[in-house]
Amino acid sequence: MLHIEKVAAAYGDVQALWDVSLDVQVNEIVVLIGPNGAGKTTLMRTIAGLHRPRSGRILFEGTALHTVAAHQIVERGIILVPEGRRLFEGMTVLENLQLGAYTRRAKQQRDKTLRHVLDIFPLLAERRHDRASSLSGGQQQMLAIGRALMGLPRLLMLDEPSLGLAPLIVRHIFEIVKSIKEEGVTVLLVEQNARRALELAHRAYILEQGRIVGTGSGSDLLHNDEVREAYLGYAPVTARTLT
Amino acid sequence: MMRRIVMRRIGMRDVAMTSPAALTRSRAWRGPVLMAGVIALAALVPVLIDKQDTLNLLFLICLHITLGQSWNILAGFAGQTSLGHAAFFGIGALVTRTLWLNGMFFPVAFLLSGLAAVAFAMLIGVPTFRLRGAYFAIGTLGIAEVLRITVSQNLPLISTMPAAEIAAYNLTLRYYVALALALTTIGAAALLLRSSWSLGILAVREDEEAAQATGVNVLGHKLLALFISSFFAGLAGGLFAFQQISYYPSAAFSPVWTFDALLITFIGGLGTIGGPVLGAIFFILVRQRLAVTLVEVHQIVFGILFILIVLVFPGGLMGAWDRLRPRAIAEALRSRRQLHKS
Amino acid sequence: MAQNIVYGLFVGGIYGIAAVGLALAFGVMNVLNIAHGELLMFGGYISFWLFSLLGIDPFVSLIICIPALFLIGLLLDRLVYRHVARLRGEAKIKNSLLISFGLVLILQNVAIRLFTADERTTQVSYIGQGINLFGIALPYTRLMGLVIALVTILALHLFLQRTDSGKAIRATAEDWEAAELSGINVPRVYMLTFALGAALAGIAGTLVSVTSSVAPSIGLDWTLKALIVVVLAGTGSIIGAFPAGLLLGLVEALSSIFISASYREVVGLVIFLLVLLIRPQGLFGSREAA
């Protein structure tokens, strides 16, 4: 479905990605883990069209994405829930959701999708006329996911959805991600919370210092010694040297 | 090679930074010799040519070199895009005109124009430097307009030289004063770039926060640039007051002076020593040429040129010289492409 | 006194419309358009010529003037401002300011070539006529101007709050990247925003041509007025610029009573400088859009 081939990206003189190749198949959950500053967010932004790759190709169902504007990528069904949620905080919950369905494709079914999203997140229905800035952190993350769902994603990309949230809420969000996948949406997930993410993943990639350094099925990586050492907290000393 | 690329990437104002290094190269003797030749020629003009038109044109070029270079010191070197330059020019004109016509010895009245402008700069410097970027620009524009309106309300009458002064009017003298002033301003700008302050001033321009973090006294360096800039702008005003037979006092506060300084510096090359010189020559010659046949068209031409320079050729005429060489073009394209990606 | 205040409000309404146009481009696009006053000037000329050549009432000719300025806005965005869209933050504001300075030169001198440097006023037949209310003269032209200003603001407010395009503008103002990620075509939103701002300048220009006069040189004064108002309102505020415009009109009226008519302009600028230095978020400062 998504095919990334030897992508390199840079901010000015600072190169952030080298020769990154990655594949996502239809209706799987693919997880990307790696230490801070490894380039995970850059990769997500590059796929979403907010950042142009310096070289390499990104194909979605065979057509090129890396030459297309971000809003057109959304139109094709690839939607990113960005790091830090990036809600329209001065606007109401409902307005945020409506804006999520701005593309022509999504607008036609906006009311139907809205009912569906509010079913998934009943809390948002209660607070639909409140400003997004008045929501708690967990609610804001749900709104961010809800806004993305309003755009009828075929590939949903989530960048650190659990960041800064309480464990109970994190569990809830992971359950929602799983149910989204069961509705037929393909998921590409970036997570710091590697254990939980790998438990959910069909396959995973490890990104370090801008390069893919490992890949495998979720359960393989979960039991891989190096991964356990580096990302699952079995040997904190080594983990620190990696970041 | 590497240095070139790095300099290119820093952007449009690299030429000023390369000049000290360039002097150490083998062709270094050419610059000073050429310069001495030009100065000698300029000094001899009144002897060689006995045409008031030409002399007047050269006077205007010198005045505008001073105007542009003084703005360049603040905006091009220290990165503070002031739109209030007319205030210093106007204050200088007002002070010199008033004192001189009331009997003060001209050289003293002239020097006081610069000092009065610096005094005003001291007054507004600290508060306006709390503003950043575009806010600094509109804030300084506001200040200049306050002065202009106040002056036009209080001094509504035209100021004319006494008949005796007009009878004895000597354009050659005024031309020499203008030439000396322009050369002094260029020299001061060049000295500033070679001084120990230049690094701090350029650092403030490139990245204020980073400069602050590395211990540069940001406010101090901005103020230094402002004082030097306002001093020469004030003197330019004083020169204007010395030259004009009659004018409305508020005319010296007109935002047009700011805008001309801006045009000259950008056309020539922002942040370079040669930029305002080339820019002023180009500006005055084109204006003079087009004003005869097509009255407003020169301003339209300057406007279009200015937009193109800001958008496409940030180096101005100085930069265009570099770009004309094929390798420089390739490099410029490369760095542009990279800039766009970031 | 009361007469002065009423006139202050009339003038303030025009300030408000002029400022909202500038605030739109600034708040949404981070573009500081110093040539806004020149757009206003062109609006004034359009209604002046439509009246003097074809006899069309200036308040009617708005239906031509608004789309004309809208088109000019589209064109300027396409030709010029789109090229600074890639820049971010400070650099973008500064470059947009510089570019618009070039536009000032172009537009002003095009106007001199086309219309000469003379001052022009749209002299409608009912100029000078009006209602007298408790001894306060309310000329029809001024009353009509205020009504049009109020209707315009109400329409803009509803557009921004209720329509999808309006919401897209507000969303883009808050976070253009998040807007792109929602499928909003941000360059198109910028184009629409700039054109709307230009259209508002056209309305303000029409009101200026009826109630005072237009000349190629009026641009800078009006840009400054609009800037003063935008800074008063706080730079994130779009609709908020309208009440701030009324306030400036009022302050100017009061200062001409209590200080001197000749320092009217200075008072506004001094307030502008004080607000800029002391309360950069503006008097009604809130960071929210619209």
A72 within some domain: no
Measured distance CA(C33)–CA(C23) in Å, rounded: 9
Domain range for C160 is 2-278
Q: Give percent above pLDDT 70 in chain C.
A: 96
Residue C57's SS3 state is coil
Contact A54 B9 (CB under 8 A): no
CATH of domain B2-19+40-341: 1.10.3470
Tell me, what CATH number does C192's domain have? Answer: 1.10.3470
User: How many domains does chain C divide into?
Assistant: 1
Residues of chain C with Cβ-Cβ distance to A71 below 8 Å are: 180, 182-186
* pLDDT score of B16: 43
Q: How far is B6 from chain A (nearest CA, A)?
A: 10
Mean predicted confidence (pLDDT) in A60-78 = 93
C27 within some domain: yes
pLDDT digits (tens, 9 = 90+) for C184-217: 999 999 999 999 999 999 999 999 999 889 999 9
Contact C183 A75 (CB under 8 A): yes
Q: Is residue C278 within 8 angstroms of chain B, CB to CB? A: no
Measured distance CA(B306)–CA(B266) in Å, rounded: 7
Chain C nearest-CA residue for A105: C183
Residue A102's SS3 state is coil
Contact C95 B304 (CB under 8 A): no
pLDDT band at A2 (very low <50, low <70, confident <90, very high): very high
Q: Are A87 and A53 in the same domain? A: no
Domain boundaries, chain B: 2-19+40-341
User: How many domains does chain A divide into?
Assistant: 2
Measured distance CA(B17)–CA(B35) in Å, rounded: 19
- Per mean pLDDT, which range of A14-28, B159-173, B255-269 is the poorest? B159-173
Q: How far is B342 from chain A (nearest CA, A)?
A: 5
Contact C280 B296 (CB under 8 A): no
Q: How far is A145 from chain C (nearest CA, A)?
A: 11
B296: which 2 tokens? Answer: 């407003």
Q: Are A112 and A189 in the same domain? A: no
Backbone φ, ψ for residue A55 (5° rounding) = -155, 170
Domain range for A180 is 1-61+153-243
Neighbours of chain B (3+ CB pairs under 8 A): A, C
Chain A nearest-CA residue for B336: A12
More confident residue, B315 or A172: A172
C57: which 2 tokens? Answer: 């009432």
Residue burial A177-206, b: 16+ Cβ < 10 Å; e: rest: beebbeeebbbbbbbebbebbbebbbbbbb
Measured distance CA(C69)–CA(B287) in Å, rounded: 30
- Out of B133, B295, B310, the one facing C99 most closely (by C-beta) is B310
pLDDT digits (tens, 9 = 90+) for A101-145: 999 999 999 999 999 999 999 999 999 999 999 999 999 999 999
Please name which of B150, B153, B94, B151 lies closest in space to residue B119, comparing C-alpha atoms: B94
DSSP at A159: E
Residues of chain C with Cβ-Cβ distance to A50 below 8 Å are: 177, 180-181
Give me the half-sphere count of Cα atoms (radius 13 Å) on the Cβ side of residue B294. Answer: 10
- Out of A74, A99, A106, the one facing C171 most closely (by C-beta) is A99
Please name which of A133, A194, A131, A181 lies closest in space to residue A153, comparing C-alpha atoms: A181
Mean predicted confidence (pLDDT) in A28-51 = 92
Measured distance CA(B166)–CA(C117) in Å, rounded: 31
Query: What's the whole-number average pLDDT of chain A?
Result: 90
Neighbouring CB atoms inside 10 A of C24's CB total 31
Please name which of C227, C72, C216 lies closest in space to residue B299, comparing C-alpha atoms: C216
- Out of C171, C177, C288, the one facing A50 most closely (by C-beta) is C177
CA dihedral A193, A197, A198, A200 (to 10 degrees): 160
Contact C263 B153 (CB under 8 A): yes
- Domain end residue (candidates: A95, A126, A152): A152
- Out of C170, C174, C180, the one facing A70 most closely (by C-beta) is C180
A133: which 2 tokens? Answer: 């800035």
Please name which of C120, C162, C123, C114 lies closest in space to residue C141, comparing C-alpha atoms: C123
Interface test with C, best of A83, A91, A130 (most C CBs within 10 A): A91
Q: How far is B19 from chain C (nearest CA, A)?
A: 26
Q: Is B132 left (phi over 0), alpha (psi -120 to 50) or beta?
A: beta
Q: Which DSSP string corresponds to A187-230?
A: EEEE-S-HHHHHHH-SEEEEEETTEEEEEEEHHHHHT-HHHHHH
CB distance A210 to A16 below 8 Å:
yes
- Out of B137, B295, B304, the one facing C97 most closely (by C-beta) is B137
Measured distance CA(C265)–CA(C218) in Å, rounded: 14
Chain B nearest-CA residue for C101: B303
C52 within some domain: yes
Residue burial A97-135, b: 16+ Cβ < 10 Å; e: rest: bbbbbbbeebbeebeebbeebbebbebbeebbeebbeeb
pLDDT band at B1 (very low <50, low <70, confident <90, very high): very low
ipTM associated with this complex: 0.89
Tell me, what CATH number does A169's domain have? Answer: 3.40.50.300
Q: Is residue A94 within 8 angstroms of chain C, CB to CB? A: no
A104 within some domain: yes
Q: Using N-to-C axis directions, what is the helix angle for B255-268 and B316-323, rounded to 10°?
A: 10
